[in-house]
Amino acid sequence: MKLKQRVVLLAILLVIFIFTKVFLIDNLDSSAANREDQRAFHRMIAGLRVELASKLDHTLQSPWEIAAQWVVPREVYPDETPELGAIMHAMATKKIIKADVGYKGTQLKALLILEGGQKVVFKPKRYNRDYVVEGEPYAGYDRHNAEVAAFHLDRYNRDYVVEGEPYAGYDRHNAEVAAFHLDRILGFRRAPLVVGRFVNLRTEIKPVATEQLLSTFLTVGNNTCFYGKCYYCRETEPACADGDMMEGSVTLWLPDVWPLQKHRHPWGRTYREGKLARWEYDESYCDAVKKTSPYDSGPRLLDIIDTAVFDYLIGNADRHHYESFQDDEGASMLILLDNAKSFGNPSLDERSILAPLYQCCIIRVSTWNRLNYLKNGVLKSALKSAMAHDPISPVLSDPHLDAVDQRLLSVLATVKQCTDQFGMDTVLVEDRMPLSHFTGQAWPSFPFRDLRKWVRAAGALSRRYWALFRCRVWPETCSLDKEAPAGALGWSLPLLGQQYLDILTTWYCSFQDCCDHGDCRVSNNFTGLQSDLSVRLHGQHLAQELVLTTVKSYLELPRPDKALALSFHGWSGTGKNFVARLLAENLYRDGLRSDCVKVFITMIHFPHPQYVDLYKEQLTEQVRKTQEHCHQTLFIFDEAEKLHPGLLEALGPHLERQVLENHRAESSRTIFLFLSNLGGNVINEVVLGLLKAGLSREDITMEHLESGLQAEIVASTDSGFGHSRLVKENLIDFFVPFLPLEYHHVRLCARDAFLSQELLYTEEALDEIAKMMVYVPKEEQIFSSQGCKSVSQRINYFLP
């Protein structure tokens, strides 16, 4: 085909691309998302009023079991909750069988155990509502009703004003309640359930109180009081009941199977007069945050933005730390706990709370849509309706409700400033995944689906043609590596449109060399992998040698008849995920973003055992489709020890030896990585014994660890991994031990964290960070109990 003819065809396809991009694809995508968001909003409004009633229509007759079953990595409770009224009724009325001092913290609280064994946190009313407080934003006690209003957003006067900064004054008990309901209205579903409750201190608490809590009770006038145990708890500042009856809020304790991990908030305040945090004077601070784990990938940064909006609406400037689920690698939600420093002064709007939003200038599309649905007084009305049936209703006064409405307009204006500066496509982020096993069906069906597939295919191919044409006509201004699509020709498109793209691709490839598989972006940079493993990975000489040797040997085989399966074992923070990432970065130009690399996190992608049959179908299909479109694939399974036995069995056929029928055809190459904490204890015990015996760490070999590690995996009763056919039939090629890290390894991790953010560091700072970690065993204190996990967050303490 002559060049002139190609130019004409390219011009036609370019017009098609522009048309489909501007008028069809974007509009179809955005309208579909908008319709789904609108339906979700109407469902929320329809179920907003929650009447507290004891009736429970559910196969599980325990309200506590239902609430525990709701919790998954990205939400505390589901979109539709018909049992919510019964659960909140139980929280407000169930008999208290034990009372103790609250968990560690700065504010007064009590830990109660209700009938049925459910833990709740009780936050008492600290003062009457007409009290006016002056002081700093972080002064005073918690307001217990903030938790409920954040989920739904007094019997005494609710019109008092806390003067001063947003976190000034004593904490308001009603703020806990209000914060809980706002979370529900915003559709975040990240706040634990909260409800108001009245308790009789004399008849309900004292008879079942522990000695530690009971020792803090006293009588002031005719009122029963207590001051508990906490950082700011003083006998001179007790919380007092009205006689014996005390008003407060109760927050449902999250299930123990979901342990929490505390993180320092990247936009936290210094709380020191005259000393600003870096974000308060550095407008480019967000760029530094984006280079730091867990904000460099995954949903955590967008969760921070959501939380900034949430905190601004309730007036909470005191979120110096936050919690997520443990060992989540940034994938779980940011949990909205401790919202009591809220609703202090309706006349004060602290704009700095929105710093993550206006410095990063990104926000979820779903959040943006929900905020727009709530303007024009809808938010105020929704909050009043949500909290109407709470036992301490009215939860908020009208000035506070009006303030929330006004703050909403400020949030919308802030986003508008960002879109004016950077454009809607940059600011509004659509991070909902279309795979049903991630979050359910994300995209509704709509007319013209076939047309949408075709124009997507044509539009994508025209982009490729234009890049190639530019490179041919103006080679000095173009680099194929940079201009070509990140994935293979067509693989970056939805698979549903692949048949249409194949026709166009066949025509294009008739006159231009092209790659029809995902391997277009395979790099297999073994030199870089060797360098990264030796320089960036610390304390893991066994993993370094074994991973490099096995992967390189496997990928250099002319016709492998089996997938390579490696199982990484060791304590959290020792580098298992890091090595998996290094493999992806050096084997594929696009690293973990490559279409030929698939990462599965057990509790994120397969959270519900009752859906294991569905998960098996989806997982098998995902593996099959990826292998069809990529001659070299990488599958990573994090938290492999938690994989359901059915899923492990479904993976078996993919790890078996295959009969190669066509000896001339190129066989595919597949690598499976299984990441697990299983066997970590036996690795640590063996290493500790060898070190005590005088052996140097570098002299430890696989022979020292292999048999004990495999025996521990097979013998484990806490996981089905060791009993699966993957292990029993020797389908795992190598079990790779990750050794526990020592003090000097943590220092190296801290150094790397500083360098990754292009920050200066001192040897003293590295020592301080290393000393922050907990070392075990208790006597020897040799190994970091968390490895290098959380080191990158700890360097924030040393930023100017």
Binding residues: 107, 123, 171, 251-254, 323, 338
Q: Hey, how many other C-beta atoms are within 10 angstroms of the C-beta on 673?
A: 25
**Catalytic residue list:** 318
Distance CA 764, CA 333 (A): 34
Annotated binding site for Mn(2+): 171, 338
Using CB atoms within 10 A of its CB, is residue 587 exposed (0-12), middle (13-18) or buried (19+)? buried
Annotated binding site for ATP: 107, 123, 251-254, 323, 338
Structure tokens at 343: 């609703």
Output the CA–CA distances (angstroms, integers) from residue 628 to 518, 625, 702, in the order listed.
9, 5, 36
Q: Hey, how many other C-beta atoms are within 10 angstroms of the C-beta on 791?
A: 26
Distance CA 636, CA 601 (A): 8
Distance CA 43, CA 80 (A): 8
Owner of token pair 């096993």: 437
First to last CA, the chain: 62
Q: Hey, how many other C-beta atoms are within 10 angstroms of the C-beta on 463?
A: 18
Please spell the DSSP secondary structure of 615-651, one letter per residue: HHHHHHHHHHHHHHH-SEEEEEEETGGGS-HHHHHHH
Cα angle 664, 669, 671; round to 5 = 165
Output the CA–CA distances (angstroms, integers) from residue 668 to 298, 560, 633, 636, 664, in the order listed.
29, 8, 8, 17, 13
**What values do phi and psi take at 657, rounded to 5?**
-70, 140
409 contact partners, CB below 8 Å, separation of at least 6? 375
Distance CA 518, CA 587 (A): 12
Structure tokens at 448: 């013209």
Q: Hey, how many other C-beta atoms are within 10 angstroms of the C-beta on 543?
A: 24
699 contact partners, CB below 8 Å, separation of at least 6? none
Output the CA–CA distances (angstroms, integers) from residue 50 to 47, 502, 572, in the order listed.
7, 53, 41
What 8-state DSSP symbol labels residue 203?
I
Mutual angle of helices 398-422 and 365-373, in 10-degree steps: 130
Distance CA 756, CA 768 (A): 19
Distance CA 314, CA 324 (A): 21
